[in-house]
Structure 1
Amino acid sequence: MTFNLTRISGIILRHLAVYRSNLARLNEILLWPIFELLLWGFFGTYVSQLSALGTVVAVLLGSLILWMVFSRVQQSISMSFLMELWSRNIMNVFIAPISLLEYLTALMVVGLIKILFVGALMMVLAWLFYAVNLFTAGFALIPLALALILFAWAIGMFIVGIVLRFGQGAESIAWMSAFFLQPFGAVFFPLSIYPQWLQAVLWWIPLPHIFEALRAVFAGHALPSGHVLWAFGLNAVYLVAAFAFFGFMFEKARAKGFLLKLQE
């Protein structure tokens, strides 16, 4: 077969047409590099201001492991739902005598099982490779991890609701939502690094409160009750809103026959 530029152009145009008909796919080529730049730009600013580097490794590894808890639990919900779509099994699930709450609970438990295994493995590796014992944080890690899990559940339910409404074309949101939140979650740097106007906005997201509390604990301070209470209070609001959003989108999808179309 000869080398044909027309055929090559046809394939190129076909793939480019996907971005015109599905703007969510632009996340793959635009948002990922933008937020990568934001994340490490803030991080570089933070590191340049450090005067004592002794606890940096422990703080970074602790932040990384807790962030992994959030991202994996969130993806466990959204990706489990997408797996049902890809296997054309979603109708079988909802025809069965199972409530929405039961279905979501099952997905949450699956996420917890995964994260217990992976989280334990990462903590062991942190100790083996870097001599960092994250258990020095004591029981403070428990409420912080729980707060992250609750917020991850809320984000996961919200993503599933979006997919119910807009179909598999919106599935990229499941992959990039955690990445989107990371630069604004104060994961690897304190809230004070952000501009003042952005700090006021981020105060209403649980993530900065959780990671600010983590850094305080590793700095030798008591667990900041203010940040912890803010995180759990915001999580309560987001969980109720996410479940209501998911329920609304599910009923709308069922009424308009979207559930069947999702498998096409």
Structure 2
Amino acid sequence: MSDSLQIGTRSSDTAVRVIRKDSSLMRVQAVLLRHLYLMRASWPRIFELMYWPSIQIVIWGFFTQFLLTNSSYVAQAAGVLVSAVLLWDVLFRAQLGFSLSFLEELWSRNIGNLAVSPLRPIEFLGSLMIMSAFRTLIGILPATFIAILFYEVSIYELGLPLVLFFSNLMIMGWSIGLMVCALILRVGLGAESMAWLTIFLIAPVSAIYYPVDILPGWLQSIAWCLPTAPVFEGMRAILFHQGFSLELYLHSLGLNAIYLAIAMGLFIWSYHVARKRGLLLQIGE
């Protein structure tokens, strides 16, 4: 009798362990499936996984190729590279400052309140642009003094062209920010990672660290269709004592006007559609 009880007890213990093990595996599987379904339903998340390694290898591959064929550039690399990094950060922070200010309204679920207030979309965009400029100045000014202190490189030596470069990059940053915000209004917060990704998508063809000529022919055509490449080409022309190029500035300014108009149109259209369909109240955490 006791042997039967022991056998029965051991069998029940084994069954309990098997059930617990199966339950544990099911819970793990459930969590995995939840994230897989989330990833499958949001293409920006999948894109983000492949994005950073690809962008890094493209940018530094072109830069390495340029250095191998231009020894004169290496001698002046410190000042040119530090200036390029600072100007690129203007573009990055202008776009991110605009996008984050908009995202903060979504995260706090305040966008619905703004939509029913007397605030007009164009006024909303104006406030986001001012906030973007403020964020950019806060981030850039300390970096410029660090460059002077540690590397003896002053971007202020560019003089008046610095203001022109700064304004052009700010406008381009706003245009990208507007497009990102328009996408978020249409897709939802699953696309919020695009606020960090989109700006680097144009980095390889913006000629930040190397001239446009180093790019393949078909990429050069794309580069000249962006306002960023003329800005960085103009910066290098000044630093290499070739003088300020009015042609490059007007090229960049004209493209900026086109991109800003398109971006504002996309954002206002997406905003009105989301407001009409009641989507503004559904976006947020």
TM-score interval for Structure 1 and Structure 2 normalised by the shorter chain: over 0.9
Matched with 1:143 is 164
- Identify which of 109, 116, 124 aligns with 2:145: 124
* Equivalent position SS for 1:30: helix
Cα distance in 1, alignment partners of residues 31 and 95 from structure 2: 34
- Identify which of 239, 243, 246 aligns with 1:218: 239
Instruction: Name the amino acid aligned to 2:258.
Output: V
Cα distance in 2, alignment partners of residues 135 and 143 from structure 1: 12
Runs of 4+ in 1 over 4 A off after TM superposition: none
1:18 and 2:31 equivalent? no
- Identify which of 19, 35, 39 aligns with 2:55: 35
1:8 and 2:24 equivalent? no
Consecutive unaligned residues of structure 1, counting only runs of 5 or more, are none
1:246 and 2:258 equivalent? no
8 Å CA contact 1:74, 1:156 repeated in 2: yes
Cα distance in 2, alignment partners of residues 77 and 251 from structure 1: 19
Residues 138-191 of structure 1: per-residue CA shift (max 9 Å, x gap): 222110111000111111111111111111111111111112121121111110
Instruction: Name the amino acid aligned to 1:33.
Output: P
* Equivalent position SS for 2:31: helix
- Identify which of 187, 204, 211 aligns with 1:166: 187
- Identify which of 256, 267, 284 aligns with 1:235: 256
Matched with 2:221 is 200
Moved more, 211-220 or 137-146: 137-146
Cα distance in 2, alignment partners of residues 220 and 138 from structure 1: 13
8 Å CA contact 2:230, 2:248 repeated in 1: yes
Instruction: Name the amino acid aligned to 1:215.
Output: R
TM score, norm. by length of structure 2: 0.88
Residues 229-262 of structure 1: per-residue CA shift (max 9 Å, x gap): 1100000011111111111111111111111222
Moved more, 115-124 or 223-232: 115-124
Instruction: Name the amino acid aligned to 2:58.
Output: L
Cα distance in 2, alignment partners of residues 199 and 16 from structure 1: 39
Q: Alignment identity in percent?
A: 35
8 Å CA contact 1:27, 1:172 repeated in 2: no
Matched with 2:94 is 73
Equivalent residues, number: 264
Matched with 2:7 is none
User: Alpha carbon RMSD of aligned pairs, Å?
Assistant: 1.6
Shift of 1:35: 1.0
* Equivalent position SS for 1:263: coil
Structure label with greater radius of gyration: 2
Shift of 1:5: 3.7
8 Å CA contact 2:93, 2:139 repeated in 1: no
Cα distance in 2, alignment partners of residues 66 and 184 from structure 1: 15
Consecutive unaligned residues of structure 2, counting only runs of 5 or more, are 1-19
Shift of 1:12: 2.4
* Equivalent position SS for 1:262: coil
TM score, norm. by length of structure 1: 0.95
Cα distance in 1, alignment partners of residues 242 and 115 from structure 2: 49
Shift of 1:63: 0.7
Moved more, 16-25 or 187-196: 16-25
